[in-house]
Structure 1
Amino acid sequence: MKRRGVFPLLYQFEFAEIARFLVLIIVSYLLSCNSKERDNIIYFTEEDLPHPTELVGEKYNIPEIVNPKGLMIKDELAVVFELKNVNDNKFHVIDLSSGTYLQSKGIDGLGPGEITVISQIEDAGEENKVWAYDPEIRKFSKYDLLDSNKLAEEEFRSPETSFFLTRLTWGKGQTLFGSAVDGLTKYLHLTKEGDTLHLMGDWKETVRHWELPNGYTPEDLDPNLISTMFQGPIKSNANGEMVVKVGTGVDHIDIIDLDGYKSKTIIGPSQEFQRFDIAYSRGYQMPDFGREKTTRYADVSLGENSFFALFRGKPFRELSSPENLNRIFEFDYEGNILNHYQLDFPVYGIAVDEENRAIYGVTVDREPNLVRFDY
């Protein structure tokens, strides 16, 4: 009797092992599916950052720079553009090898070759040439950095599309890549003539990665409200194949590879959404962050294998405060954190010279100017 009883026990044991094995397979499969869904979203906190490297800035003394907003580096030249004004001399050209001020460019106005305000200046792959973007009249203007003409030598209007594009950057082949605000679509890749090459992303899906304040759900938010909250600088690298967009109101970074339209998202160092209320303007939802809103990422500069994100993390009214000064996080294009830099000047925008291992910025202190940080 005892010997015959062994077989049922073995059978029960084997069945239990098989069942457990099948459960493990199913769980592993589900986990692998979830990890694939999470593969394109990378979270980090302050604890994940390397110990900061203190950078000491060397400030220039260029009196022509009055109220700088941003800059770019091209061919050993710094191109520094001013905040909105009604004057000429919209941007300045500085020889970085000697520190010499060369000239200013940009005639204020709405006529041919004129410009009203500059939100970004970019390199489109032409020697000594840059393109400035005027978001108010949605116009691109090309300038030769070395000739004496203050007017643009070429210009074109931002293409008319069914999407309203707030920010644009140059993509490979002198195409345009922009962030949309009036629908569910996040990004649009198009030709200079306005032909659509590709649509990317969904604003509703973007906001699902966050726990929203006030009990809001993604279904409560209109696309224009979500896109407004996630706006920020968008820039491409030298060959126009990689694009990075950072959020000024949210700790959110999108890395976009235009070769195949692959993307990754970085969330951090804070993973809490700033408190906001839904307000309305002309019938449209708008986020009201109140007086306690802090600005998060202020600018980004792309290199060959990595990019540098300028992090502010304080209210705009404290922008020039010597307390809680800007930091820079360096990431590779897989989203891995490489370096953490602490600056000793409050800066508005940055540009990185990888060859000479220098980070340039424009300060927002009492005497704003160009500053260099060797890293």
Structure 2
Amino acid sequence: MKKVDFLNRKVATKNGRFRTRLKCNFSLVIICFIWATVFCSCSRNSGNTNKKSFTWDSISSLEKELFGKKYFIEELKMPSRLLYKNDKLLIIESAPRDSFVHVLDWNSLEYLFLTGAVGYGPGEMPKAWNLEGGTDPNTFWVHSLEGKLFSEYGLENVNDTKALTQVRQKEAFYLAMGITWASDSTFMTFLARGENKFVEFNIDGARLKGYGMWKGLVPGDFEDHVIADLHQGKLMGDPIAGKFIKASILRGHLEILDKKSGEIIEINGPENAIPEFQAINAGAVITSDHPLAYMDAFLGKDHVFGLYSGKTDSEIMAQGRGETNLFVFDLLGNIKTVFKLNTPIKSFTVDEERQRIFGITTDIDPGVVVFDFNL
């Protein structure tokens, strides 16, 4: 069995390949070359890759202890992910009844209201997977992996828990497992199958462009979907800055994409090793007790934060879940500090301006723990 069932199920499909037979006619060759260059750029790799790495020894002097304050919120039953936006703290409920997003005041953590109607009807979603800020300062978005829906909700209580807007995944866009806004009309994603690490779609589901290639990321001749499965994890973007991150759960590997230049910065560490795995049609099956890596990640204006585990399955069984190592990088991929948290958390979000971290605790009565930091 795989160490982490991140996607719950695999989507298996064959990638279509565009092939054209050219006759020995010079003018036809030129026309086809121009057509492919202008209209098929979406299938080619863009930019280059800059690789960086670090080890535990190289960052030992960067460690800083952070002591948090826990808040118990009675309305939270099984909180999973959270997001800070415009003085609101948004928290997804894993086992909701009628609605699945709690909205709290960022400072006092006072409970404000509940939104996000559960269901399969118009404006409803069957299950919430992840939170996104979007481009509108007054709204936020929720992705439903099960429902293949992306739904928008307001940051103010209007006594209506249904979505303001919904985007349904269809055609090639249906294969997108992680979704974040790339602009006010496009999405950046990663796919269950495909040769590119990042793929951009418009809101109508048309594929626009791919960034980075899976080939060569691990030694050996493996199918693209096997390598992609080995690097499953958290995707987050800043559509205004054109920056995106992908943090891998199964190995210490984090990537920063600059959409404008197409450059991808790969950061490997602190365990610079690839877990032993077996390639199957559905993906990669981990066959060794290898340390888990980034359980959550956050992209800020100036920094990238990665919640690192470093624990194997056997260690998790003995010590329990929850992570205390939070790596902080600049946008060039240089590690700046390692926050050692006194309270284990399973997910987090950051108010970078006020330098505050909000995390979901893993104890028997889960709540929100707040850490103040100084960078």
Q: TM-score range by the shorter chain?
A: 0.7 to 0.9
Task: Tell which deviates more after alignment, 86-95 or 359-368.
Answer: 86-95
CA distance 1:163–1:66, shift in 2 (3 Å):
closer
For 1:75, which of 72, 83, 86 is the aligned residue? 86
Deviation at 1:324, TM superposition (A): 8.2
Give the distance between the partners of 2:318 and 2:121, measured in 1 at CA.
35
Task: Give the whole-Å Cα distance in 2 for the aligned partners of 1:331 and 1:198.
Answer: 27
Q: Indicate whether 1:330 and 2:340 are aligned.
A: no
- Stretches of structure 2 lacking an aligned partner (at least 5 in a row): 1-46
Q: Distance in 2 between matches of 1:314 and 1:40?
A: 28
**Change in CA separation of 1:336 and 1:319 when aligned onto 2, cut-off 3 Å:** farther
Is 1:106 matched up with 2:116? yes
CA offset at residue 285 of structure 1? 4.5
- One-letter amino acid of the counterpart of residue 259, structure 1: K
Contact 1:124–1:174 (CA under 8 A) maintained in structure 2? no
CA deviation profile, 1:150-194 (whole Å, cap 9, x unmatched) = 111211102422782211111133420011231222221121112
Kindly provide the amino acid, as one letter, of the partner of residue 356 in structure 1.
R
CA distance in 1, matches of 2:181, 2:83: 14
For residue 25 of structure 1, what is the aligned residue in structure 2? none
State the partner residue of 1:374. 372
Instruction: Quote the Cα distance in structure 2 between the aligned partners of 1:143 and 1:348.
Output: 24
Structure 1 residues 288 and 330: alpha-carbon distance in aligned structure 2, compared to 1, 3 A threshold: same
Q: CA deviation at 1:320?
A: 9.8
Question: 2:341 corresponds to which letter in structure 1?
Answer: L
2: CA distance between counterparts of 1:82 and 1:245?
23
Equivalent AA in structure 2 for residue 139 of structure 1? L
Comparing 258-267 with 284-293, which one deviates more in the overlay? 284-293
Deviation, 1:205, is 2.1
Secondary structure of the 1:178 match is strand
Amino acid at match of 2:69: E
Whether 1:53 aligns to 2:64 is yes
Structure 1 residues 325 and 164: alpha-carbon distance in aligned structure 2, compared to 1, 3 A threshold: closer
Q: Is the 8 A contact 2:63 2:340 kept in 1?
A: yes
Unmatched tracts of structure 1, length 5 or more: 1-36, 209-216
Determine if contact 2:321/2:346 at 8 Å carries over to the other structure. Answer: no
Corresponding position of 2:75: 64
Give how far 1:118 is off. Answer: 1.6
Preserved CA contact (<8 Å) 1:164 1:182:
yes
The reply to whether residue 97 of structure 1 matches residue 91 of structure 2 is no
CA distance 1:53–1:293, change in 2 (3 Å) = same
- State the 1:123 CA deviation: 1.2
Query: 2:142, 2:48 → 1: CA distance?
Result: 37
What's the offset of the Cα at 1:204?
Answer: 1.6
Residue 254 of structure 1 aligns to a residue whose secondary structure is strand
Greater than 3 Å deviation, 4+ residue runs: 319-325
Matched, 1:308 2:308: no
- Report how far residue 322 of structure 1 moved: 6.4
| 2: CA distance, partners of 1:110 / 1:361 | 30
Q: What is the correspondence of 1:211-230 to structure 2 with a 5 Å cutoff?
A: 217=220, 219=221, 221-230=222-231
Higher helix fraction (1 or 2): 1
Q: Give the alignment of 1:222-261 within 5 angstroms.
A: 222-237=223-238, 239-261=240-262
Identity %: 27
SS in 1 for 2:296: strand
- SS in structure 2 at match of 1:81: strand
The structure-2 alpha-carbon separation of the partners of 1:132 and 1:165, relative to structure 1 and needing over 3 Å to count, comes to same
Question: Residues of 1 paired with 2:96 and 2:107: CA distance?
Answer: 31
Query: Partners in 2 of 1:166 and 1:305 — Cα distance?
Result: 26
**Would the aligned equivalents of 1:139 and 1:158 in 2 still touch at CA under 8 Å?**
yes
2:322–2:362 CA contact under 8 A, matched in 1: no
* Offset at residue 111 of structure 1 (A): 0.9
Give 1:292 deviation, angstroms.
2.4
Matches of 2:194 and 2:174 in 1, distance apart?
Answer: 7
Residue-pair matches, total = 324
Matched, 1:136 2:146: yes
| Kept after mapping to 2: 8 A contact 1:169/1:177 | yes
- Decide whether the 8 Å contact of 1:87 with 1:107 is kept in 2: no
* 8 Å CA contact 2:277, 2:288 repeated in 1: no
Cα RMSD for the two superposed structures:
2.3
Q: In 2 relative to 1, CA 294–108 (structure 1 residues): closer, same or farther, beyond 3 Å?
A: farther
Using the alignment, how far apart are the partners of 2:159 and 2:332 within structure 1? 42
2:36 paired residue number: none
Q: Which has the larger radius of gyration?
A: 1
Letter in 1 for 2:359: G
Aligned with 1:193: secondary structure? coil
Tell me how far 1:117 sits from its aligned partner.
Answer: 1.6
| Rounded Cα–Cα distance in structure 2 between residues aligned with 1:302 and 1:97 | 21
- How far is 1:272 from its partner? 1.0
Contact 1:159 1:192 in 2 (8 A): no
Q: 2 CA distance for matches of 1:324 and 1:90?
A: 22
Q: Relative to 1, partners in 2 of residues 1:39 and 1:234: Cα closer, same or farther, differing over 3 Å?
A: closer
Q: Does the 8 Å contact 2:84/2:106 carry over to 1?
A: no
CA apart distance, 1:308: 0.8
1:223 deviation in Å?
Answer: 1.9
Aligned to 2:216: 205
C-alpha distance in 1 between matches for 2:317 and 2:163: 32
Cα offset, 1:96, TM superposition:
1.5
1:227 partner SS: helix
Q: Normalising by structure 2, what TM-score?
A: 0.81
TM-score between both structures, scaled by the size of structure 1: 0.81
